[in-house]
């Protein structure tokens, strides 16, 4: 890219501090949590939507490719740059006053998820997307990847919690979509098209988020299980329990062991088990006895063999800490390849049994760490490098085993990306989950929004 020509064309049009040019300053903007190698050619840090629009106009005229960049906590490589101009939203983090009539809040794309939570909490309201990365990830990234997280079973994915969106096309046109109307049945839903498009169609600059009240009263339960099948059977029972399920997460012994070793967080169960489930439930105050009785019945009927009940905030945090520490503990221990897949919930145990069997039979040098959102049919398969394997061998083994995973997924009618998105890492496997007709429409839609192919090029689909 000829950055000198670009900068001289930009001179006088923008404040001087808009651009980061120095390679050292640009370094962290090139890659994300996948640790995929990346380089930002130049970084632009606008403060307003008008600046975003002017930058994109200039890039369009000069055919400069652009990578939109939020907190870069993505796990599919959607924000990885390969020499492009990186458009960072870190200065666009304004939060407007909470609208207590509409239960909404208008925020700029660079606001972190945690900042939004803290901003709304004094009104007794929350944006219910809860992610382990909430301190760093940004609303623009949450929406462009349609983030999921730990409470999808109760609240759904990010796309359910958006009323209005402001976005800028590659040509610099500002789209003001729906503002804050609760009802608006006027044609195609461009908001929902842009959500989850990973910055390939337009750049999200502001959003009006829908809010809800905090859960009534919640308890966290923690159970040991012999297998994913036993966990799934219990889940079916829990679906009929005297409460609303806020979260239903599972993880294997290997995950608990690595969290204990890395972060010194222990389960208070006192014995180990091949699998564990964490369930958070919500119920009205005064119904504690009913929930206690239900638990007693589960134990009596041997649906569960043991369990912990966390009622206080600190006890709940302690149990959640076991689940929330898994990703960082694995990342800090060994190279890992992550597969965020989904299958229909009822088929989850059968799918995982086949994956485990296939790995055992393959004789490949891979350790499998299983955890994820059982209640959403969305397990995270983490393939971890054993100490005795070389990096080259591990990469080869993963490439081999990845084929098995995706062939199995197809036969289960599953998806290659449940919540992390497609980015560059899942792009080549998109046809496992999408038909030729869908792929054709994807390309046609991309061409309509970005005919020159300059916006987040090479992500999600190739033209
Ligand atoms: C999670 O469920 O913890 C996140 O999706 C992150 C991950 O898969 O590692
Ligand atoms: Zn997840």
Residue 253 lies in a domain: yes
Phi, psi dihedrals of residue 419, rounded to the nearest 5°:
-145, -15
| Closest-approaching ligand to the CA atom of 376 | 2
Confidence at residue 334, expressed as pLDDT on a 0 to 100 scale:
96
- CATH number of the domain residue 306 falls in: 3.30.70.2190
Q: Find residue 95's DSSP bridge partners.
A: 107
Identify whether residues 150 and 72 lie together within a single domain: no
Structure token digits, residue 179: 């503002």
CA atoms lying within 13 Å on the CB side of residue 138: 26
DSSP characters over 322-356: HHHTHHHHHHHHS-EEEEE-B--GGGHHHHHHHHH
- CATH number of the domain residue 17 falls in: 3.30.43.10
- Indicate the pairing of strand 85-88 with strand 42-44: parallel
Confidence at residue 3, expressed as pLDDT on a 0 to 100 scale:
93
Confidence at residue 343, expressed as pLDDT on a 0 to 100 scale:
98
Burial class for 423, CB neighbours closer than 10 Å (0-12, 13-18, 19+): buried
Q: Is the pLDDT of residue 132 over 90?
A: no
Domain boundary among 213, 230, 256: 213
Mean of the pLDDT values across residues 186-198?
A: 97
Residue 99 lies in a domain: no
Confidence at residue 172, expressed as pLDDT on a 0 to 100 scale:
98
On whether the CB atoms of residues 152 and 373 are closer than 8 A, the answer is yes
Identify whether residues 168 and 226 lie together within a single domain: no
Which atom of ligand 1 is found nearest the CA of 380?
A: 8
Residue 55 lies in a domain: yes
Identify which has the larger pLDDT, 240 or 132.
240
Q: Is the pLDDT of residue 193 over 90?
A: yes
Identify whether residues 74 and 8 lie together within a single domain: yes
At CA 155, angle to CA 149 and CA 156, rounded to 5? 65
At CA 133, angle to CA 127 and CA 136, rounded to 5? 90
Q: How far is the CA of 436 from the centre of ligand 1 (A)?
A: 29
Confidence at residue 74, expressed as pLDDT on a 0 to 100 scale:
95
Residues near 268 by beta carbon (within 8 Å), at least 6 away in sequence: 308, 318
Give SS3 for 205: strand
H or E element in which residue 436 lies: helix 436-449
Q: Is the pLDDT of residue 133 over 80?
A: yes
On whether the CB atoms of residues 277 and 249 are closer than 8 A, the answer is yes
Residue 298 lies in a domain: yes
Q: Tokens 């965020």, residue?
A: 340
Confidence at residue 456, expressed as pLDDT on a 0 to 100 scale:
98
Q: For ligand 1, pick from 152, 329, 371 the residue to mutate: most ligand atoms within 8 Å of CB.
A: 371
CA pair distance 330, 311, nearest whole angstrom: 28
| Closest-approaching ligand to the CA atom of 75 | 1
Phi, psi dihedrals of residue 411, rounded to the nearest 5°:
-70, -20
Q: How far is the CA of 331 from the centre of ligand 2 (A)?
A: 14
Mean of the pLDDT values across residues 180-186?
A: 93
Domain boundary among 59, 88, 117: 88
Confidence at residue 16, expressed as pLDDT on a 0 to 100 scale:
86
Condensed to tens digits (0 to 9), the pLDDT of residues 278-306 reads 999 999 999 999 999 999 999 999 999 99
Which atom of ligand 1 is found nearest the CA of 372?
A: 2
Residue 198 lies in a domain: yes
Confidence at residue 409, expressed as pLDDT on a 0 to 100 scale:
97
What percent of the chain stands above pLDDT 90? Answer: 97
Identify whether residues 208 and 111 lie together within a single domain: yes
Q: How far is the CA of 148 from the centre of ligand 2 (A)?
A: 7
Q: Is the pLDDT of residue 2 over 90?
A: no
Q: How far is the CA of 327 from the centre of ligand 1 (A)?
A: 6
Mean of the pLDDT values across residues 199-213?
A: 98
Domain boundary among 213, 244, 262: 213
Q: How far is the CA of 142 from the centre of ligand 2 (A)?
A: 13
Condensed to tens digits (0 to 9), the pLDDT of residues 370-407 reads 999 999 999 999 999 999 999 999 999 999 999 999 99
Closest C-alpha residue for ligand 1 atom 7: 327
Which atom of ligand 1 is found nearest the CA of 330?
A: 9
Closest C-alpha residue for ligand 1 atom 8: 380
Condensed to tens digits (0 to 9), the pLDDT of residues 76-108 reads 999 999 999 999 999 999 999 999 999 999 999
Mean of the pLDDT values across residues 108-116?
A: 98
CA pair distance 455, 211, nearest whole angstrom: 30
Structural domain count of the chain: 4
Identify whether residues 323 and 359 lie together within a single domain: no
Mean of the pLDDT values across residues 210-237?
A: 97
Any residues with Cβ below 6 Å from ligand 1, and which? 75, 132, 327, 338, 340, 372, 380
Alpha helices (H) along 66-112: none
Give SS3 for 191: helix
Identify whether residues 109 and 182 lie together within a single domain: yes
- CATH number of the domain residue 415 falls in: 3.30.70.2740
Which atom of ligand 1 is found nearest the CA of 371?
A: 2
Condensed to tens digits (0 to 9), the pLDDT of residues 306-329 reads 999 999 999 999 999 999 999 999
Which atom of ligand 1 is found nearest the CA of 148?
A: 5
Q: For ligand 1, pick from 132, 251, 416 the residue to mutate: most ligand atoms within 8 Å of CB.
A: 132
Query: Is pTM, for the whole model, over 0.75?
Result: yes
Q: How far is the CA of 380 from the centre of ligand 2 (A)?
A: 7
Taking residue 435's Cβ as centre, other Cβ atoms within 10 Å add up to 9
Taking the CA atoms of 137, 142, 144 and 150 in sequence, report the sign of the dihedral they define. Answer: positive
Identify whether residues 117 and 192 lie together within a single domain: yes
Residue 460 lies in a domain: no
Confidence at residue 270, expressed as pLDDT on a 0 to 100 scale:
84
Identify whether residues 13 and 52 lie together within a single domain: yes
Alpha helices (H) along 70-226: 113-120, 139-144, 152-155, 190-194
> Residue 19's domain spans which residues?
3-88
Q: Is the pLDDT of residue 1 over 80?
A: no
Mean of the pLDDT values across residues 359-368?
A: 95
Residue 49 lies in a domain: yes
Closest C-alpha residue for ligand 1 atom 2: 372
Ramachandran area for residue 178 (φ above 0: left; ψ -120 to 50: alpha; else beta): left
- CATH number of the domain residue 123 falls in: 3.30.465.10
Identify whether residues 401 and 419 lie together within a single domain: yes
Identify whether residues 207 and 225 lie together within a single domain: no
Identify whether residues 280 and 315 lie together within a single domain: yes
Identify whether residues 322 and 376 lie together within a single domain: no
Condensed to tens digits (0 to 9), the pLDDT of residues 328-357 reads 999 999 999 999 999 999 999 999 999 999
Q: Is the pLDDT of residue 201 over 80?
A: yes
Residue 346 lies in a domain: yes
Q: Is the pLDDT of residue 227 over 80?
A: yes
Confidence at residue 216, expressed as pLDDT on a 0 to 100 scale:
85
Condensed to tens digits (0 to 9), the pLDDT of residues 147-163 reads 999 999 999 999 999 99
Q: How far is the CA of 372 from the centre of ligand 1 (A)?
A: 7
Mean of the pLDDT values across residues 119-128?
A: 98
Q: How far is the CA of 132 from the centre of ligand 2 (A)?
A: 9
Give CA torsion, residues 313, 318, 319, 325, to 10 deg: 130
Mean pLDDT value across the chain: 96
Confidence at residue 35, expressed as pLDDT on a 0 to 100 scale:
87
CA pair distance 127, 161, nearest whole angstrom: 7
CA pair distance 184, 179, nearest whole angstrom: 10
């Amino acid at each position: 890219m000829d950055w000198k020509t670009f900068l001289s064309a930009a001179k006088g049009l923008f404040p001087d501090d808009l651009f980061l040019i120095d390679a050292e300053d640009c370094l962290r903007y090139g890659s994300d949590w996948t640790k995929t190698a990346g380089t930002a050619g130049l970084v632009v840090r606008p403060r307003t939507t008008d600046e975003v629009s002017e930058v994109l106009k200039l890039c369009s005229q000069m055919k400069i490719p652009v990578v939109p960049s939020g907190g870069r906590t993505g796990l599919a490589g959607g924000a990885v740059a390969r020499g492009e101009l990186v458009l960072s939203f870190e200065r666009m983090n304004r939060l407007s006053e909470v609208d207590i009539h509409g239960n909404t809040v208008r925020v700029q794309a660079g606001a972190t998820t945690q900042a939004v939570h803290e901003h709304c909490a004094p009104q007794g309201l929350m944006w219910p997307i809860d992610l382990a990365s909430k301190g760093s990830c940004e609303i623009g990234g949450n929406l462009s990847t349609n983030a999921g997280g730990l409470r999808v079973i109760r609240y759904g994915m990010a796309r359910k919690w958006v009323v209005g969106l402001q976005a800028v096309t590659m040509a610099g046109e500002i789209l003001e979509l729906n503002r804050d109307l609760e009802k608006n049945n006027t044609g195609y839903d461009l908001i929902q098209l842009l959500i989850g498009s990973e910055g390939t169609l337009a750049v999200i600059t502001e959003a009006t988020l829908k809010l809800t009240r905090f859960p009534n009263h919640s308890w966290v339960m923690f159970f040991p299980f012999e297998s994913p099948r036993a966990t799934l059977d219990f889940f079916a029972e829990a679906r009929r329990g005297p409460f609303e399920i806020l979260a239903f997460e599972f993880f294997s012994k290997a995950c608990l062991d690595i969290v204990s070793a890395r972060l010194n967080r222990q389960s208070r169960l006192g014995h180990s088990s091949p699998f564990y489930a964490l369930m958070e439930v919500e119920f009205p105050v005064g119904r504690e006895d009913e929930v206690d009785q239900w638990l007693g019945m589960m134990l009596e009927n041997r649906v569960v063999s043991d369990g912990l009940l966390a009622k206080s905030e600190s006890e709940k945090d302690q149990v959640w800490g076991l689940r929330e520490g898994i990703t960082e503990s694995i990342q800090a221990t060994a190279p890992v390849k992550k597969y965020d897949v989904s299958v229909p919930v009822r088929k989850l145990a059968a799918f995982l049994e086949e994956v485990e069997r296939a790995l055992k039979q393959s004789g490949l040098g891979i350790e499998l760490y299983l955890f994820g959102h059982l209640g959403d049919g969305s397990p995270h398969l983490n393939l971890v490098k054993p100490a005795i394997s070389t990096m080259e061998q591990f990469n080869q083994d993963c490439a081999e085993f990845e084929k098995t995973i995706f062939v199995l997924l197809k036969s289960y009618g599953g998806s290659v990306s449940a919540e992390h998105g497609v980015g560059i890492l899942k792009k080549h496997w998109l046809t496992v989950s999408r038909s030729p007709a869908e792929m054709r429409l994807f390309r046609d839609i991309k061409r309509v929004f970005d005919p020159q192919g300059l916006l987040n090029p090479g992500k999600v689909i190739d033209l």
